[in-house]
């Protein structure tokens, strides 16, 4: 599958009111692209469009299929056919399994996983009909293995990685480019709640630059920062007994 051209493109971004989504929308607008920036917090989106005229703010709740379909339709009316969709909307709330409550687990899955599914459902028919398009699904290195306090978040990202890998078989020779994005720790509203040291953490702006460059590549996985990703890939292939002992030692420091 070909990499996206650097000519003006129409990007559809979910979760664009803050964090990585917002930084990516700004970076793409500065590069001259048309951006449909979607989120539930429309006041935050309005601030973006005031500063960058090529950013179209669109209200969208990824937990609501009709809201997603309406957002896609609005995006097409405003900016034309969607070339690239970055399905970034997500939630992260640390969990302690010793105090299990099902609601936050359902909420995480509804936004982080089924939210992506709802977007794909709304976006894919046009891309298939046109035999072109580009989907980038936001996962995380937290989907590689279970991590402390990530019992609600991590499984949703593991599911996205598996979804993207499975979809690759179905989309072969369709003209559609599919990628999965696996960031490490990024400075956002979500990670601000963490009270532990986050190794190799980067700014949302740097994350956006990594994503923008990755979208132009032929790589299936866009993973960054490199140092942290290498560590996580190493841990991914350790036997469980060694992994748990090593993580316990790291956490206790």
Q: Is 187 left (phi over 0), alpha (psi -120 to 50) or beta?
A: beta
What kind and span of H or E run contains 133? strand 133-138
At CB < 8 A and 24+ separation, what contacts does 155-161 make? 155/108, 155/109, 156/90, 156/108, 156/109, 156/111, 156/112, 156/113, 157/112, 157/182, 159/109, 159/113, 160/112, 160/113, 160/116
Residue owning tokens 């292939």: 237
- Beta strands across the sheet bearing 10-13: 55-59, 34-39, 10-13, 84-87, 133-138, 176-183, 221-224
CA angle, 184 as apex, 109 and 170 as ends, to 5°?
55
Kindly list the catalytic residues: 153
- Residue 22 has, within 13 A of its CA and on its CB side, a CA count of 21
Q: What is the b/e burial string over 3-19, where b = at least 16 CB atoms within 10 angstroms of the residue's CB? A: ebeeeebbbbbbbbbbb
- DSSP for 210-252 reads HHHHHHTSS-SEEEE-HHHHHHHHHHHTS-HHHHHHHHHHHHT
């Amino acid at each position: 599958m070909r990499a996206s051209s650097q000519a003006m493109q129409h990007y559809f971004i979910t979760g664009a009111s803050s964090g990585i989504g917002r930084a990516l929308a700004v970076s793409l607008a500065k590069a001259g692209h048309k951006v449909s920036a979607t989120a539930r917090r429309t006041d935050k989106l309005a601030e973006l469009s005031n500063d960058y005229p090529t950013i179209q703010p669109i209200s969208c709740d990824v937990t609501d299929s009709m809201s997603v379909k309406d957002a896609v339709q609005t995006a097409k009316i405003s900016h034309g056919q969607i070339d690239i969709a970055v399905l970034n909307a997500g939630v992260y709330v640390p969990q302690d399994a010793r105090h299990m409550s099902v609601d936050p687990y359902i909420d995480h899955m509804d936004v982080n996983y089924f939210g992506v599914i709802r977007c794909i459902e709304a976006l894919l028919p046009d891309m298939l009909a046109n035999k072109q398009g580009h989907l980038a699904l936001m996962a995380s290195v937290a989907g590689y293995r279970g991590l402390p306090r990530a019992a609600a978040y991590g499984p949703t990202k593991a599911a996205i990685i598996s979804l993207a890998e499975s979809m690759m078989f179905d989309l072969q020779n369709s003209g559609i480019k599919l990628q999965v994005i696996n960031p490490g720790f990024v400075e956002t509203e979500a990670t601000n709640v963490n009270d532990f040291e986050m190794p190799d953490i980067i700014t949302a702006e740097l994350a956006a630059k990594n994503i923008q460059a990755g979208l132009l590549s032929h790589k299936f996985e866009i993973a960054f920062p490199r140092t942290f990703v290498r560590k996580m890939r190493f841990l991914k292939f350790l036997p469980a007994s060694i992994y748990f002992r090593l993580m316990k030692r790291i956490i206790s420091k």
